[in-house]
């Protein structure tokens, strides 16, 4: 491999230099490529693909370098998480908004959705109460959610965060939101 490395070293250096501006860093990455190739040579399936294999190692090593050195800046204070009270208020407002949309769903989707989302029942409990198979109950809850989502997104714009819905705005004046 040493002989082939010597033949490809100049081309690999040019490849690395294309992505990295610092000459010392280019040499460091090239050395790391050689070490990785040398220690993992047993994984090379066909000797004829050594060149492509070395370029793949070089590419991955460059990407690893940029992942390690990616600058991390702290988030500004004005992006702090909303207060729990604000989130709770938004949840209550959205819950009041959602009920009329749920009531518009066909009964076979409305009832399982109410049981799952508003009453907090498990899907097995829903299946038992409605004499459905578990997969049937799951399917109806999921389809009810999809239909509800379509109705809501047609009417309102939602701001969603890590804790769920943070805020919403009606798209039209006549919307029920």
Domain boundaries, the chain: 2-69, 83-170
Could you tell me the CA-to-CA distances from 65 to 17, 34, 58, 97, 157 in Å, in that order?
13, 15, 11, 49, 40
Q: Which residues pair with 157 in a beta bridge?
A: 169
Q: What's the burial of 140, exposed, middle or buried (CB within 10 Å: 0-12/13-18/19+)?
A: buried
Tens digit of each residue's pLDDT (9 = 90 or more) over 94-145: 667 788 888 999 999 999 998 998 888 999 999 999 999 999 999 999 999 9
pTM: 0.46
Q: Select 83-170's CATH number: 3.40.718.10, 1.10.10.10, 1.20.58.220, 1.25.40.10.
A: 1.10.10.10
Tens digit of each residue's pLDDT (9 = 90 or more) over 34-78: 999 888 887 777 666 788 888 999 999 999 998 888 777 777 777
Cβ 105 vs Cβ 113: under 8 Å: yes
CATH architecture of 2-69: Orthogonal Bundle (1.10)
Rounded Cα distance, 93 and 96, in Å: 5
């Amino acid at each position: 491999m040493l002989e082939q490395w010597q033949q490809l070293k100049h081309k690999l250096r040019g490849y690395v230099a294309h992505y990295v501006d610092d000459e010392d860093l280019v040499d460091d990455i090239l050395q790391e490529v050689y070490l990785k190739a040398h220690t993992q040579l047993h994984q090379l399936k066909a000797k004829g693909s050594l060149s492509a294999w070395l370029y793949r190692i070089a590419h991955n090593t460059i990407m690893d370098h940029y992942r390690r050195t990616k600058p991390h800046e702290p988030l500004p204070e004005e992006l702090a998480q909303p207060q729990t009270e604000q989130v709770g208020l938004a949840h209550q407002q959205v819950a009041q908004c959602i009920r009329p949309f749920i009531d518009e769903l066909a009964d076979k989707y409305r009832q399982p959705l109410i049981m799952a989302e508003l009453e907090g029942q498990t899907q097995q409990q829903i299946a038992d109460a409605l004499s459905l198979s578990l997969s049937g109950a799951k399917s109806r809850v999921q389809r009810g959610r999809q239909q509800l989502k379509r109705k809501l997104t047609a009417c309102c714009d939602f701001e969603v965060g890590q804790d769920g819905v943070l805020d919403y705005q009606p798209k039209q004046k006549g919307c029920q939101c």
